[in-house]
Amino acid sequence: MIIMLNKSNLKYICCFLLPLSLVSGSCKKMIGINTPTNELRSISVFASNGTAESAGAGMYSSLYWSKQLFQSSLSAITGICADEMKYLRNTNFDQYMNNTILPDDANVLQMWSELYSSIYQANTVLEGVNASTAVSDSLKKRLSGEAKFIRAFCHFYLVNLWGDVPLIMTTDVAKTSVAPRDSAAKVYRQIVADLQDAQNLLPSTYTVYGGDRTRATKWSATALLARVYLYMGNWTGAEEQATAVINNTALFGLTVNTATVTPFLKNNSEAIWQFFSASTATNGYATEGGSFVTSTANYVLRTELYGAFETGDKRKTNWTRTITVSSIVYPQTYKYRLISSTAATTAGIQEFPTVLRLGEQYLIRAEARAQQNSVSGAQTDLNAIRTRAGLGGTAAADQATLLTAVEKERQVELFCEFGHRWLDLKRTNRLDAVMKAAKPTTWTTINAALFPIPQTAINTNPNLSPNP
C-alpha cells in the first residue's frame, strides 16, 4: 500500500480543511520547526539569515521527505488510473484501476492535504521573509522566489487533479478555512504570475546551492512555466519558455541512455529540478514502482504502455525490466533502481527523484511548434528525443501526425513520472477515448477525469462543493 492516513501524518492536513475551532493547534504544528530543515515551527525563524535559509530548505524537505505524494503516490495512483500500470498484489487499488474513486478515499485526501500543506509552508515563508527586518534583501529575494515557485508547483497539481480548487494565498486561517473553489482559469493566472515573479527573483545558476539541482532556480520556474503554457494552450509562450531552457547549453544537455547513465542521477546535465536524496536513502518511487514481494507481483506495466515502445528503443531496454513470478513474466518500470540502502551503497551512485528535466522541454516545444504548424521545428525536437532513445527520425510530416507522434513520445519518454500520462490525456481531451479502449468494462464516465473533492474537506468547509 502506498499511503496510510495515520496519526503521524494527519498533522499535515491543510488548515482550511478543518473547522476554525480545531485549526489553531494544527496550524501551530504546521508553521513550527523542531528541526529547521524540516518544518516551520515559529515565526522567529525569520530572525536571521541562517534560520530563514533553513526555513527555505524546509519547504523542499517537507514537500518530499515528510510526504508520500511526490515519493510515490502521485506517480503510482495516476499511473494506475491511466493506461500505465496495474497493481496486482491485492485489491487495495482497484478503485484506481476501475476509476471508481469515492470522496472518502484516504489516499486522495492525503494527496489533497499534502499539497495544501506545502502551499501553507510557502505562504509562511513569503510572509515571514517579507515581514522580517533581519533577513538580508538578497536572501529575501531568493526565498520569495523559491516560495512562489513551490506555491505555483502545488497549485498546478491541484488544479489538474481536481479542477476548480481553492486558491490559497495567505496563512490567515479565518480565510483559508472557508475558502471556496476558484475557477481553474483564475488558479492558472496566479500560477503564471507566481512563476513569472520567480523567474525574476531566483538565481540563474546552481552555485548558491553548492551545485546541487535540488532547489529552484530561474530555470526551474521557466521549465514549469513552459509546461503551464502548454496546458493553457499558449503555444507561443510554451515554445519561448522551453527554448530558453534548451538554449542554455552551459547548464543543460540531454544525457545518453544506458543502464548506468540516465536523466535520474544526481545533478546530471538533463536535470532542471530534483528532490534531494541521501546517498544511502531508499528511493520511495523505486521501492513502490519497481519492487515486488516474493512470489507476488506489485506494480506491473500495462500492455498499452509496454507495447508502445518501438523495436530498438533504449527506453524499453534501460527504463523497464521484467520479473518472473510463478512462471509469469511481468514488466515493470525501472527508471530508478536503488530500491534499498544496500543497493545505493553497492552501486556507488546517487539517484535524485527528477521532477523537471530537459527531455520534457523538447517535447513541450515539439508540441507547441506542431500546434503552430512549424513542421520542421517539431520534427527536430522529436528527433532529439528519438535519437537519444536509439531510434530513427520521425515519419510524422504534418500537424495531425506530428501531434500524434508527440503524444506517443510523451507516453514512452515520461511514463510513470509524476502523473504526466494521466494529465496529458486529460488536457488533450483524449482521456475518454483512450480509457474506453484500455478499460472497456470499467471506464464508464468522463467524470472520472477529476479526483473527487475529499469528503472531509467538504464536511469542514461549507463553501466547498463536490466534483460530479
At 321-331, the pLDDT tens digits run: 888 888 899 99
The CATH code for residues 209-426 is 1.25.40.390
Residue 349 has pLDDT above 90, yes or no: no
> pLDDT tens across 262-283, in order?
899 999 999 999 998 776 555 5
CATH 1.25.40.390, domain 7-202+450-460, yes or no:
yes
> pLDDT tens across 71-100, in order?
888 999 999 999 999 998 889 899 999 999
Q: How far does CA 156 lie from the centroid of its chain?
A: 9
Question: Could you tell me the pLDDT band of residue 468, with boundaries at 50, 70 and 90?
Answer: confident
Half-sphere exposure of 386 (CA within 13 A, CB side): 20
| Cα 448 to Cα 221: distance, rounded to the nearest angstrom | 30
> pLDDT tens across 389-406, in order?
999 999 999 999 999 999
> pLDDT tens across 174-213, in order?
999 999 999 999 999 999 999 999 999 999 999 999 999 9
> What's the average model confidence in pLDDT over 299-310?
96
Dihedrals φ, ψ of 53, to 5°? -60, -40
Q: How far does CA 413 lie from the centroid of its chain?
A: 15
CA dihedral sign, ordered 217, 223, 227, 230 = positive
CATH 1.25.40.390 maps onto the chain at: 7-202+450-460, 209-426
CB 73 within 8 A of CB 2: yes
| Cα 201 to Cα 453: distance, rounded to the nearest angstrom | 34
What is the per-residue pLDDT for 345? 61
What is the per-residue pLDDT for 389? 97
Question: Could you tell me the pLDDT band of residue 285, with boundaries at 50, 70 and 90?
Answer: low
> pLDDT tens across 18-31, in order?
322 222 233 333 32
Q: Please give the mean pLDDT across all residues of the chain.
A: 87
In angstroms, how far apart are the furthest CA atoms of the chain?
Answer: 67
| Cα 99 to Cα 110: distance, rounded to the nearest angstrom | 18
411's CB contacts (< 8 A; 6+ apart) are: 305, 308, 421, 424
CB 149 within 8 A of CB 142: no
> pLDDT tens across 106-134, in order?
999 999 999 999 999 999 999 999 999 99
Which stretch of DSSP H or E encloses residue 325? strand 320-325
E-assigned strand segments in 142-298: 271-274
Query: Exposure pattern of 168-200 as b/e (b: 16+ CB <10 Å)?
Result: bbebebeebbbbebbebeebbebbbebbebbbe
